[in-house]
Structure 1
Amino acid sequence: MISQFFTLESTPFTKELPTSKLYQSSSFKECMARLHYIVRTRSFGLLSGEIGSGKSTAIRALRDALDMTKYRFIYLCDSSLKPRDFYRELLHQLGIVPQNLKSDAKRQYEHAIWDLYESQQKTAVIVIDEAHLLQGDMLQEIRFLTNFQIDSVSPVSLLMVGQPELRSTLQMRLFKPITQRLNIRYHLGGLGASEMKEYVEHQLQAAGAQHPIFTAEAIDAIYAHTRGIAREINNVCTACLLDAVVRKEKLIDTIHVAKILTNTQGVMMEEYNASYS
């Protein structure tokens, strides 16, 4: 609908954009540099960021950039995992049938990681997403994932990804052994005003736009509402595009944006009232 009306090659502001065509903001470039360093040096890192700031996009870009002849990418995203189930899931992704007991599964994991590193000349890159939701026992277990040969060498790159509260949780004395082992930490924030303008233009150009669709004032209004958070930008821009299609208007100005934001806030308020009625 959007692509046809605006004569685009594809629909902008979706997750379907290949990682090779992602907008490279200054913070995103720095984030990717840190992630690649973690991989190269087989380190333990933490990536935090607000909801919708682009953490998952960064992980997807990292995965797509890895040489799979040298690395084995393992992605975990299950906040309900207990230590035994955690090792079992790791082993399943490594193609190994896990033992029932946690201690046995843990030994299997260690053996598999070393075999991957020494025999296959590959490094396991383990990403634990939504880590801010993990229970204390699971966070404690993550510390042991980095214990190889009494810290003399690590055959694995480990990355925890989560919302800002993860950083607060790890500041607790209970988790000090984890924070002491963290080599790299990075917080992914929102785009600045000028970068958001470039981001919107980049998304539209990547979709095949030949002329501006959003006025400068409309982009300023979107920035004021979204604070530069990528997912929010995508949602508002998509809603504006759909509204423009319905109205058969090719240019989106502040009137369109104000209408969309008013409707969005109205829906949110109705949902809030319904939940407490």
Structure 2
Amino acid sequence: MYESFFEMEHTPFARDIPVERLYTSPQTEDALGRLVYVVDHQMFAVVTANPGRGKSTMVRMLDGRLGKEKRLLLCLSDSKLTPRWLYAGLLGQLGLEPRYFSGDSKRLLQKEIQTVSAEQKKKVVCALDEARLLGKDMLEELRFLLNYRFDSISPMSLALVGQTELWERKLKLQAYEAIRQRIDMNIALGRLDRAETGKYVASHMAYAGAGKEIFASGAEDEVYKMSAGIPRMINRVCEKALMYARQQQKRLVDERMVRFVADHEMLGGVG
């Protein structure tokens, strides 16, 4: 592949880049800071963005920021959760077997969270990724889970992570008012601008161990234009451009190469 051709140590635009090596834009840093605040104050947050803008990556980053000695992150990614599978998934991450009835599993989870808080002195946060398709009953279940003791302090913090429609087509509706009133923080992720796109590309190339310039400035302009600043699309455009440059035996990616792969090899638009 192109890695050896460009004398890279790692694949620059892979999905498994360590979180400490990922580029964080100012808006990402702001969002992470707000999420840490949510965890420390046992609050309820909603994180939304259009596809490809880094929602799931942010959950990975959050795990790295929290510090496992004081906070415990439980993470589920399932757009069609039921109460039974919610409690089974969370209890499994805590090393416990779920009960046959979901109500019993809920009580076991609540008890374990109290134990983690009181004995281990850890704050518990649950992050539910792909939350846009959660039904009203499931969202109500989450609301009761947060407020089961009917006091001002929740036993845990919760972050719902999903596409923009989670907020626009669901939580904003009158039918969800009781849930919406419970939300403490609404975080929306946008696109990267041109300068941030350049820094994103440079950061990933540095992780790969590229010792010399590979993307010309004009190429980065085209990457931004073709990707509209959406991280997933930046990855796709850059990956295709590097492959094409390798095929052409060119060690510098220019704007013409980026335009070529965008016109001939990209199967989907930026959205």
What TM-score does the superposition give when structure 1 sets the normalisation length?
0.92
CA distance in 2, matches of 1:83, 1:220: 47
> What does residue 56 of structure 1 align with?
56
Partner amino acid, structure 1, of 2:64: D
Residue by residue over 1:73-99, the C-alpha shift from the partner in whole angstroms, topping out at 9 and shown as x without a partner, is 211111222112212222222222222
Confirm or deny: 8 A CA contact 2:44 2:185 kept in the other structure. yes
The answer on 1:215 being equivalent to 2:219 is no
> What does residue 272 of structure 1 align with?
none
The answer on 1:85 being equivalent to 2:85 is yes
> What does residue 177 of structure 1 align with?
178
Count of aligned residue pairs for this structure pair: 268
Q: Which stretch of structure 1 is more off in the superposition, 255-264 or 148-157?
A: 148-157
User: Structure 1 vs Structure 2: percent identity of aligned residues?
Assistant: 37
Partner amino acid, structure 2, of 1:156: M
The answer on 1:7 being equivalent to 2:10 is no
**Partner of 1:60: helix, strand, or coil?**
helix
CA distance in 1, matches of 2:155, 2:196: 38
Confirm or deny: 8 A CA contact 2:110 2:155 kept in the other structure. no
> What does residue 258 of structure 2 align with?
257
Give 1:125 shift: 1.3
Question: Structure 2: any 5+ residue segments left out of the alignment?
Answer: none
Residue by residue over 1:146-203, the C-alpha shift from the partner in whole angstroms, topping out at 9 and shown as x without a partner, is 1142132223121100000001110111111111111111111110011111211121
What TM-score does the superposition give when structure 2 sets the normalisation length?
0.93
> What does residue 96 of structure 2 align with?
96
> What does residue 193 of structure 1 align with?
194
Give 1:233 shift: 0.1
CA distance in 1, matches of 2:212, 2:92: 49
CA distance in 2, matches of 1:35, 1:100: 33
CA distance in 1, matches of 2:148, 2:268: 49
Q: Which stretch of structure 1 is more off in the superposition, 11-20 or 47-56?
A: 11-20
Partner amino acid, structure 1, of 2:73: F
Partner amino acid, structure 2, of 1:207: A
Confirm or deny: 8 A CA contact 2:40 2:123 kept in the other structure. no
**Partner of 1:126: helix, strand, or coil?**
strand
Partner amino acid, structure 2, of 1:90: L
Q: Which stretch of structure 1 is more off in the superposition, 143-152 or 24-33?
A: 143-152
**4+ aligned runs moved over 3 Å, structure 1:** none
Confirm or deny: 8 A CA contact 2:6 2:251 kept in the other structure. yes
> What does residue 232 of structure 1 align with?
233
> What does residue 72 of structure 2 align with?
72
Q: Which stretch of structure 1 is more off in the superposition, 116-125 or 159-168?
A: 116-125
Q: Which stretch of structure 1 is more off in the superposition, 93-102 or 125-134?
A: 93-102
Give 1:205 shift: 1.9
CA distance in 2, matches of 1:59, 1:83: 22
> What does residue 274 of structure 1 align with?
none
> What does residue 152 of structure 1 align with?
152
> What does residue 275 of structure 1 align with?
none
Residue by residue over 1:227-277, the C-alpha shift from the partner in whole angstroms, topping out at 9 and shown as x without a partner, is 101010011100100111111101111221121111235x459xxxxxxxx
CA distance in 2, matches of 1:197, 1:122: 39
> What does residue 117 of structure 1 align with?
117
Partner amino acid, structure 1, of 2:140: Q
> What does residue 140 of structure 1 align with?
140
User: In angstroms, what is the RMSD of aligned CA positions?
Assistant: 1.6
CA distance in 2, matches of 1:91, 1:19: 26
> What does residue 45 of structure 1 align with?
45
Partner amino acid, structure 1, of 2:159: L
Give 1:103 shift: 1.9
> What does residue 131 of structure 1 align with?
131
**Partner of 2:95: helix, strand, or coil?**
coil
Q: Which stretch of structure 1 is more off in the superposition, 156-165 or 15-24?
A: 15-24
Q: Which stretch of structure 1 is more off in the superposition, 129-138 or 82-91?
A: 82-91
Describe the shift of the 1:148–1:118 C-alpha distance in structure 2 as closer, same or farther (beyond 3 A): farther
Q: Which stretch of structure 1 is more off in the superposition, 96-105 or 226-235?
A: 96-105
**Partner of 2:45: helix, strand, or coil?**
strand
